[in-house]
Amino acid sequence: MGPRVRGDDDGVSVVSPRSLKALARLARIKFRRLWARLEAPTHRAWWTGPRIAIAAILSLAAIHVAIDWATLPPPLPSHRATVAGWKPSEAWLYDREGRLLDSSRVDFQARRLGWTPLDKIAPAAVEAISQAEDRRFRDHDGIDWWAIAGSIRDRIEGKRARGASTLSMQVAAYLSPDLAAPGSRGLVDKLRQMRAGAALERGWSKDHILEAYLNLAGFRGEAQGIGAAALGLFGKTPDALTRDDGLLLAALLPDPAAGPPTVARRACALSRDSDCARFQGAAASMLGPARSLALDPGLAMHLANRMLTEPGLRVETTLDLRIQQIAIRALRRQLVGLGGTRARDGAVIVADNETGEIRAWVGGIGGASTAPSVDGASSYRQAGSTLKPFLYAQAIEKGYLTPASILDDSPVQLDTASGLYVPQNYDRAFKGPVSARSALAGSLNVPAVRTLILTGVEAFRDRLWDTGYRGLTESGDYYGYSLALGSAEVTLVEQVAAYRSLARGGRWVPLRVRKGEEAVAPRGTTTPQAAWLVADMLADPNARASTFGMDSALRLPFWAAVKTGTSKAMRDNWCIGFSDRYTVGVWVGNLEGDPMRAVSGTSGAAPVWRDVMMALHADRAGRAPPRPEGIEARTIRFAGNIEQPRREYFLKGTAMAEVAAAPAVARRPRIVSPVAGSVYALDPDIPIDRQRMAITVSGEVVGHRLQLDGRDLGAADARPMVLAGPGRHRLRLIAPGGRVVDQLLFTVR
């Protein structure tokens, strides 16, 4: 007898080859000893005949042991171990309700999905495939002797021999690939496969064998298993397959690379139908251009690529399928409308204000993009004017400004280490004296720079770092005054987290996108009063009207605070804003860094922001946040009708009834023009006496005098005109007592 095979829960075990070798060696030793005794003189006479028969029997036994050892199949795992060890090539991303958002290919050796249980496969398809591959599967014990006899008969008759491998034998070969290694078609190899199939039948149930075959079989190209085949070839799940689908899959199994005519012909033969015309079109459709997994929604490709790192991984996110679709549709509609020649890329992030969970993450939509795999939501881009709310919040918090404070929107030159910095507004026009409310809501640049002078660049840089902007890795001196206009690089995710902190009373936490991730304790970045005042300024449609008009995309039929921004050379366009429930951030631009064409602050990202906000609040309009303690309201008037009278809000103790220019006596005496560090050039075509320079001072300068290179120029309030020759010059403002109260250097060439 051959080695005994026993099935258990852990697998199908067999006697090891080492044990069989020892058994054969023992048989040889016993045979030699017995032969020696029979050769002894006392036995030789009567043993001549019987000893030959016994020797023959022992020889046959030794041969049987040798053949048994040579055809010994390898150990095979149990069904449970096979399922547990199955590793799909994909990983899956789900929303907060367990709905599939996207999948990502992680293992590129084979394309296979999750293990598909037999009861999740359409019975008609199962029957069609099993009948085509092994029609007596339910009746044999792993070896189909009738099929083997038929194959032998075909060989004797010179016909093409039919395959006699059973499903059990094929599953054994899948589990132990050396059983079907190239060149394994000899008699000994076939016997090993037969014994492996029989061993598998003793350890597995018929349904388990059939289930394993349907999951392990290669159907087409790299698609392994009926799950990948059903989705890739038919755009269906396995439980939706029809009998015809099963016949077409069965027709692929003998030759997965076969063309449509061959597959249609085989499917027709398997169906045994008289009318097979339907298979021709079905085979052509099935084997047409490579399909994507049709039931994969493909709604969060960039986030999937970011989070799905291991085969078989199933990640549940905080995203909401409905909100994700809203954001995708809004962004796609806008980019299609702009056209690829104006702007090619965009991104949207939606966060829940209450929980800090991200409800939508759209890193791009493809389309005309030249970098569709780059995640626009996590890419660092120049911030533009979107950092201004945090600058004004810092100035208000420290008492430097109120929303009614007047800032001068007029040309200014600032002396920096790299030369003069001359900020300009977006429209290159200046509005003169404006309130801080109008300056922020209207996104005026010069007032923002003047505010940064009040707070200090280093302090503002530190405030931005505390508010989650981790791209600001340099010191304040590196960014200079341009930091007020957003010269730093930020991501859309950082932007949404920062603006959400304003909606939450100045408390910042990082946003969460993985479901179940532990929340971080909030960190205060500004006071609730300053955050509320800035939010109120950003939500004021009248304050932004002078820049954006009364009917821009920023105006919603409910309360919402919003800020736009455009980076240098029109490379990035932002719109970030919040209601009481959601914070929405949108970026539009070109990921390759080339400038956009004819795209402004309200024609790029703002329409997407508006569409998303309107959809999010379709059930309930946004509501203004309650006023925190420490805020008081006052009706205020502006001297000179700088702005219309209005009801304004102040930190407690800073309220005023009227805003007017400070009298000269209250201002610090200083030189206004020329600006420190300026370089002037003399024109040889203009008479020299026509190239005098006007000197301007401000503040109370009665009794003060001006000196140029130590030479007295007269009274400071006389505004003298001077002629300065080539070279460096020092201009001083001298108080009546002889003290220098201001001085600067300028150059003439």
For 25-89, strand residue ranges (E) read 76-77
Bigger pLDDT: 11 or 162?
162
Residues ≥6 apart with Cβ < 8 Å to 694: 673, 719, 721
pLDDT-derived band at 422, boundaries 50, 70, 90: low
Q: Which stretch of 52-61, 268-277, 513-522 has the lowest confidence by average pLDDT? A: 52-61
Please tell me the predicted confidence (pLDDT) of residue 416: 59
pLDDT score recorded for residue 295: 61
| Distance, CA of 625 to chain centre | 32
Sign of the alpha-carbon torsion through 705, 672, 460, 577:
positive
φ and ψ at residue 314, rounded to 5 degrees: -120, 110
Q: Identify whether the C-beta of residue 132 lies closer than 8 Å to the C-beta of residue 252.
A: no
SS3 state at 76: strand
The count of residues in the chain is 749
pLDDT(542) > 90: yes
**Cβ(317)–Cβ(100) below 8 Å:** no
| Strand, helix or coil for residue 99 | coil
Of 443, 419, 422, 420, nearest to 431 (Cα)? 443
Distance CA(414)–CA(232), nearest Å, equals 63
Mean of the pLDDT values across residues 722-735? 92
Mean pLDDT of the chain: 87
pLDDT in tens, 484-502: 999 999 999 999 999 999 9
List CB contacts of 626: < 8 A, sequence separation 6 or more: none
Q: How confident is the model at residue 13 (pLDDT cuts 50, 70, 90)?
A: very low
The answer to whether 85 touches 77, Cβ cutoff 8 Å, is yes
**346, 591 contact by CB (below 8 A):** no
Beta-sheet pairing, 631-638 with 658-659: parallel
Candidates 533, 510, 704, 554; CA nearest to 628 is 533
pLDDT value at position 11? Answer: 46
Write out 242-287 in H/E/C secondary structure.
Answer: CHHHHHHHHHHCCCCCCCHHHHHHHHHHHHCCCCCHHHHHHHHHHC
Stretch (H or E) spanning 30: helix 17-39
DSSP at 231: I
Residue 20 reports pLDDT greater than 50? no
C-alpha to C-alpha distance for 569 and 118, rounded to whole angstroms: 60
Q: Quote the percentage of the chain above a pLDDT of 70.
A: 86
At 181, is the pLDDT very low, low, confident or very high (cuts 50, 70, 90)? low
Q: For residue 114, what pLDDT is reported?
A: 85
Burial 682-705 (b: 16+ CB within 10 A, else e): eeeeeeeeeeebebebebebeebb
The reported pLDDT for the residue numbered 194 is: 87
Map residue 451 onto helix, strand or coil. Answer: helix
Q: Which of 379, 337, 384 is nearest to 593 (CA)?
A: 379
Q: What confidence category does residue 364 fall into, taking pLDDT thresholds of 50, 70 and 90? A: very high
Confidence of residue 27 (pLDDT cuts 50, 70, 90): low
- Provide mean pLDDT across the span 415-437: 72
Confidence of residue 142 (pLDDT cuts 50, 70, 90): confident
Q: Are 696 and 719 in contact (CB under 8 A)?
A: yes
What's residue 423's pLDDT? 72
Residues of the chain above pLDDT 90, percent: 57
Check residue 600 and give its pLDDT. Answer: 76
Poorest-confidence range of 58-62, 448-452, 582-586, 587-591? 58-62
* Omega cis (within 30) before 674: yes
Sign of CA dihedral 82, 87, 88, 89: negative
Distance of CA 303 to the CA centre of its chain: 3
User: Would you state the torsion angle of the CA atoms of residues 680, 683, 689, 690, taken in this order, to the nearest 10 degrees?
Assistant: -90
- pLDDT surpasses 70 at 622: yes
Around Cβ 61, how many Cβ atoms within 10 Å? 14
In this prediction, residues 588-592 reach a mean pLDDT of 95
| DSSP string of 336-385, one letter each residue | HHH-TTT--EEEEEEEETTT-BEEEEE----TT-S-TTS-TTSS-EE-GG
Reading the block at residue 510, the tokens are: 């990082």
How far is the C-alpha of 420 from the C-alpha of 413, rounded, in Å? 6
Three-state SS at 415: strand
Task: Write the pLDDT tens digit of every residue in 305-357.
Answer: 999 998 889 999 999 999 999 999 999 999 999 998 899 999 999 999 999 99
**The pLDDT of residue 402 is above 90:** yes
Place of tokens 């805003």: 659
Its pTM surpasses 0.85: no
Which pLDDT band, with edges at 50, 70 and 90, does 152 fall under? confident
Q: Which residues contact 748 (CB under 8 A, 6 or more apart)?
A: 679, 680, 681, 682, 724, 725, 726, 727, 729
- Cβ-based neighbours of 472, under 8 Å, separated by 6 or more: 461, 464, 465, 479, 488
Confidence check: pLDDT of 621 > 90: yes
pLDDT classification of 293: cutoffs 50, 70, 90: very low
Give the separation between CA 195 and CA 67, rounded to whole angstroms. 12
Select from 277, 244, 249 the least CA-distant residue to 263.
Answer: 249
Instruction: State residue 468's pLDDT score.
Output: 97
Distance CA 356, CA 517 (A): 11
> Taking a C-beta distance cutoff of 8 angstroms, is the pair 411, 446 a contact?
yes
Which pLDDT score, from 0 to 100, does residue 2 have? 38
Three-state secondary-structure class, residue 698: strand
Tokens representing residue 456 in the block: 């200090």
Pair 656, 636: CB distance under 8 Å: yes
Whether residue 438 has pLDDT greater than 90: yes
